[in-house]
Amino acid sequence: MRVLLAEDDDLLGSGIRAGLKQQGFQVDWVRDGQAAEYELATGAYLVAVLDLGLPRQDGIQAIQAVRQQKVKTPILVLTARDAISARIEGLDAGADDYIIKPVDLHELAARLRALVRRSHGQTSNLLRVGPIELDPLACQVRVDGVVADICGREYELLHTLMLNAGRTLSRTQMEERLYDWGHEISSNAIEVHIHHLRRKLPPGTIETVRGVGYIIHKQVAL
Amino acid sequence: MTRWLPQVRSLQSRLLFSVMGLSVLVWLVTILATWSDTEHEVGELLDAHLSQAASLLVTLPLEELSRLRLQESPNLHEYQPKVVFQAWHLDELVAKSVTAPRMPLGNRQTVGFSTGEIEGEHWRVFAAKGNDPHVMILVGEKDVARTDVIYASLRSVIWPVSLALPLMALGVWLAVRHAVKPLKELGQTVAHRRADDDSPLPDGNVPSEAKPLVQELNRLFERSARLLASERRFTADAAHELRTPIAAIRIQTQVAQGAQDDAEREDAFRQTLLGCDRAAHLVDQLLQLARLEANGGTTEPATSDLRASLERVQQELKATHPNTDRRLRVEVDAPISTQLASPMPQGLTHAVLRNLLDNALRYSGPTGQVQLKVHSCPQQERLCLTVEDSGPGLTEAQLAQLGERFFRVLGSGQSGSGLGWSIVRRVATLHHITVDTDRSPRMGGLRVRLEWNHHRA
């Protein structure tokens, strides 16, 4: 799961990035409000963590700006501003959750998972398509109750496809959702991962939509 | 008035007691005066009756007197004087009223008024000589009858006053209550205010005597509201500023707990320590500022060795800023270098220099130049300390905000406490040092000028 982190404090930012990585997120970190707005507008992130007191542009303004651009990415505000009025302002501006510093790392991760789940219309963390079960908490995939050997990028790819079950995702969209910054992506990386995934999943799970991309149907006909 | 009513605190009771006390006192004096006056006047009137009766009797010759067989006159009115007479010839009682005693009523020897006592009863007697020099006429009246008349006339004076007194008390009570009502209401309004209510008291219905009080109270409320708001803001800001390093420490500790390898754990621990140092620095600055604020503007004038403080700060800065030797230049003008006194105690001199130089080194970038100069001002008798840097400097708006608690230039990548400048400004105010900030014409960054009276220091 790719997360955008906007935090101007070096120490806290590096901590959150390292901590969320341990929890299985890919984290991109920006340090000012304008960069946060720009990155959010790309729509490449599943969820975002935003500080409010950001240089160049306040977090609230950044949220309002991206919401005006119809960006639906769930945004969690992580701030030291604890006044009720500040919370109301944050949530009304378009934030989906509001946490006061300091925050527990595990709670932060759980809230991010919940935001992602809700934004995809799911009630439980567990994603299920036919016999395939994906558990984001344990980063585990089970096929017919048996744990499949799917991890790393393959897991992320499957997670992305299952979250968007019923929708065709292009290769670029998948690359955006899969890789944080600073990764060299070879031109056929997605194809290679799809190829490996197909060998580990029941046949027909991932369909190729010619000239567009890949899709997992909500009800897999086996 | 207050001397003899020290325990009565209520204005209403005090007014009521004093007005009613005075009224009763005046009333009593009036009664006493009326008493003595009435007694005197009625006494004279009755005496006149006695002498009149006697003057009628003395005209009668002795023979006629002895023939008098007086029936007691009918009592036609309750105040009709109960008068009796005796006619004496030498030592013999020749005639008397029926009700008169046989004993002489009073003194038979001298003419005029006298008093006598017969069988326990007191008499008022008038004696007059008849035509015959041996005849003495005594006309007497019982004292009891006389006092009855006096009491009756006194009663007629007292009862209307006695009736009026409680009515007046009621009237006074109502008037006083009405008069102090606005004050009472004011008191209740103040008493029922919530502790955090800082709205002004309404002064529309307040009597003019209490208006200055209300106005002063309102000014006080205004002042305390301002103070309270600034304290609240400070507490909120302090909490806000402490939260970020604490959040960082917490997250980094959890990262260390969940680290997969030693290098990651080591890095997280290093970051945790950095966070602790930052929180500690922030707390230090907060405490220093709090102590300065608590001083309330009065510190003993003290001086310290500026050169020694400068050297110490330079040593300390070397530990936190790499290349301090190359980046920081200190110049002290020769003529005054022999006696270089700072106008404040050593601890504060150190704090001011440290904050100014630390900021300059921080915000001028890793290779920026910083220059500190001490020299005489153009004005005589004044010393100048200037700190300039080659950093990006501050905008006009940022310069105006400099010294506000927790003001920091966002996006500078620096993690100061935001309190250094508040401390510098506070110390400057306490020790009469003027502080000016502008853009350095030579180096392009921020220029800070401290100026103080050399002789005072």
Q: Above 60 in pLDDT, residue A17?
A: yes
Alpha-carbon gap, residue A73 to A139, rounded angstroms: 22
Supply the CATH classification number for the domain B211-292. 1.10.287.130
Does residue B98 surpass a pLDDT of 80? no
Beta bridge partners of B121: B118
State which amino acid sits at residue B377: C
Is the model's pLDDT at B334 over the cut of 60? no
What are the residue boundaries of the structural domains of chain B, listed by start? 11-162, 211-292, 298-453
Q: Out of A163-172, B291-300, B390-399, pick the least confident.
A: B291-300
DSSP category for residue B120: T
Mutant choice from B232, B254, B257, B264 vs A, greatest count of A C-beta within 10 A: B254
- Strand ranges for chain A from DSSP E: 2-6, 26-30, 47-50, 75-79, 97-100, 127-129, 132-135, 140-143, 146-148, 169-170, 206-209, 213-216
How confident is the model at residue B425, as a pLDDT? 85
H or E stretch at B159: helix B143-191
Q: How far apart are CA A65 and CA A70, in angstroms?
A: 9
Output A66-72 pairs: Cβ under 8 A, ≥24 positions apart. Answer: A66/A37, A66/A40, A66/A41, A66/A94, A67/A93, A67/A94, A69/A41, A71/A40, A71/A41, A71/A43, A72/A119
A15 touches chain B (CB under 8 A): yes
Was domain B298-453 assigned CATH 3.30.565.10? yes
When pLDDT is averaged across residues B4-12 and rounded to a whole number, the result is 66
| Partners of residue A31 in chain B, C-beta under 8 Å | 411, 413
Give the confidence band of B84 by pLDDT, cuts at 50, 70, 90.
Answer: confident
pLDDT in tens, B236-287: 777 777 888 899 999 999 999 999 899 999 999 999 998 898 888 888 888 8
In B21-120, the DSSP E strands lie at 83-89, 92-96, 112-118
- Closest CA of chain A from B242, distance in Å: 9
A-chain CB neighbours of B250 within 8 Å are 102-105
Between residues B341 and B275, which one has the greater pLDDT? B275
Query: How many CB contacts within 8 angstroms connect chain A with chain B?
Result: 85
Give the other-Cβ count within 10 Å of B50's Cβ: 22
Domain ranges of chain A: 2-119, 127-216
Q: Please give the Cα distance from A206 to A158 (Å, whole number).
A: 9
User: Residue B291 pLDDT more than 70?
Assistant: yes
- pLDDT of residue B72 exceeding 60: no
Residue contact A105–B246, C-beta within 8 A: no
Q: Measure in Å the smallest separation between the Cα of A212 and chain B Cα atoms.
A: 39
Mean of the pLDDT values across residues A26-34? 91
Predicted local confidence at residue A221, as pLDDT:
45
Q: Cβ of B440: how many Cβ atoms within 10 Å?
A: 18
**Is the link from the previous residue into B335 a cis peptide, with omega within 30 of 0?**
no
Of the candidates B179, B171, B218, the one whose C-alpha atom is nearest the C-alpha of residue B198 is B218
Query: Are A105 and B260 a contacting pair at CB < 8 A?
Result: no
pLDDT at residue A176 greater than cutoff 70: yes
- Residues B20-47: what's their mean pLDDT? 87
SS (H, E, C) B243-307: HHHHHHHHHHHHHHHCCCCHHHHHHHHHHHHHHHHHHHHHHHHHHHHHHHHHCCCCCCCCCEEHH
**CB-CB neighbors (< 8 A) of A54 in chain B:** 410
* Highest-scoring range by mean pLDDT, A57-61, B8-12, B414-418: A57-61
Check residue B2 and give its pLDDT: 46
Please check the confidence at residue A65 and state whether its pLDDT lies above 70: yes
Is residue B456 pLDDT above 70, yes or no?
Answer: no
By a Cβ cutoff of 8 Å, what residues of chain B touch chain A? 236, 239-241, 243-252, 254-255, 258-260, 264, 267-268, 271, 274-275, 278, 410-413, 415
- How many C-beta atoms surround the C-beta of residue B340 within 10 A? 18
pLDDT in tens, B395-447: 888 888 777 777 777 666 666 777 888 888 888 888 888 888 888 888 888 89
In the prediction, which pLDDT does B454 show?
Answer: 72
Nearest to B251 among A12, A55, A80 (CB): A12
Longest CA–CA span in chain A (Å) reads 54
- Kindly list the residues from chain A whose CB atom is less than 8 angstroms away from the CB atom of residue B263: none
* pLDDT (mean) for B9-25: 85
| Residue in chain B nearest A82 by alpha carbon | B240
Tell me, yes or no, if the pTM score tops 0.95: no
Cβ–Cβ gap B250/A10 under 8 Å: no
User: Rounded mean pLDDT of B48-72?
Assistant: 77
Q: How big is chain A by its Cα radius of gyration, in Å?
A: 18
Q: Is A80 close to B258, i.e. CB distance below 8 A?
A: no
Reply yes or no on whether the pLDDT at A150 is more than 90. no
CATH class label, A127-216? mainly alpha
Position B338 confidence tier, pLDDT thresholds 50, 70, 90: low
**pLDDT range class, residue A5, cuts 50, 70, 90:** very high
Is B248 within 8 Å of A15 when comparing Cβ atoms? yes
| Overall fold of domain A2-119 | Rossmann fold (3.40.50)
Which residue would you say has higher pLDDT here, B162 or B270? B270
Q: State the ipTM, two decimals.
A: 0.73
pLDDT of A18 > 90? The answer is yes
Nearest Cα of chain A lies from the Cα of B420 at a distance, in angstroms, of 18
- Predicted confidence band of residue A222 (pLDDT cuts 50, 70, 90): very low
How many C-beta atoms lie closer than 10 Å to residue B365's C-beta? 17
- pLDDT, one tens digit per residue, over B292-301 is 777 655 556 6
Say yes or no for a CB contact (<8 Å) between A105 and B254.
Answer: yes
Residues in chain B: 457
pLDDT at residue A20 greater than cutoff 90: yes
Is pLDDT at B40 greater than 80 in this prediction?
A: yes
User: A63 pLDDT exceeds 90?
Assistant: yes
The answer to whether A58 contacts chain B (CB < 8 Å) is no
In the predicted model, what is the mean pLDDT of chain A? 87
Q: How confident is the model over B7-36, as a mean pLDDT? A: 84
Q: How far is A55 from chain B (nearest CA, A)?
A: 5
Q: Nearest Cβ partner of A16 from B249, B251, B258?
A: B251
A68 band by pLDDT with thresholds 50, 70 and 90: very high
Q: CB distance from A180 to chain B under 8 Å?
A: no
CA torsion A145-A147-A153-A158 (nearest 10°) is -10
Say which residues have a Cβ less than 8 Å from residue B346's Cβ, sequence separation at least 6: B304, B305, B308, B309
Q: Is B225's pLDDT higher than 60?
A: yes
Task: Kindly report, residue by residue over A178-218, the tens digit of the pLDDT.
Answer: 777 777 777 788 888 999 989 888 888 888 888 888 998 87
pLDDT at B65 over 80: no
pLDDT score at A73? 92
pLDDT of res. B7: 63
